[in-house]
Chains A and B, each alone.
Chain A
């Protein structure tokens, strides 16, 4: 069945470091791909999305490119801030959203 695999956390970085959180998927057809972010004690918020191969989603300095050949949707940011500390979820959308297990990011000043 359809599934999403994310790198395990926590990912610990210093402020202004480069961030990569890996996400790969298994799906039949051509799903849309999403990244959601969850700040402490809150629900999830949509961060970015891509609906077809080679699309690049971007928001708040974060980017992810839909790579069909490698079935990946890795999240990147060039310079992280303390305020980016949160849990990040990769998700794929067929007729319902399937989420990865989440990756906790901790950014220290």
Chain B
């Protein structure tokens, strides 16, 4: 069966420090991968999605970036964190078939201080 792993679960980082969040999927190949952010009291904001290795689409201009170095690995990064980057970050995957549902990881709670 397919599983998705996301780490770390919680992270506290100072303003201006770098960020790297990692997500891996097991049990499937060539998944579509997504990074969402959930800010307190707000809905889910799609940040990046990828339909293949090295293919990244950005939905919102910001100081974050994403990379997909391997088929089932998706990394969210920042060179310098801002206070406004605090939030709950969710990685998700789905198959390439039309209308496949999203499967989410357990999320990373990021607090920028």
Contact = CB atoms under 8 A, between A and B. Distances in A.
Contacts of A42: 106-107
Given A93-B99, A96-B49, A43 B44 contact: no
Interface residues of B, number: 18
A99 to B, nearest CB: 4
Interface residues of A, number: 20
Contacts, number: 45
B43 interface: yes
Chain A interface mostly: strand
B43 A101 contact: yes
22 contacts: A34-B101, A36-B104, A41-B107, A42-B107, A43-B6, A43-B104, A43-B105, A44-B102, A46-B102, A46-B103, A49-B101, A51-B99, A89-B44, A93-B99, A96-B34, A96-B49, A97-B46, A99-B36, A99-B43, A99-B44, A101-B42, A102-B44
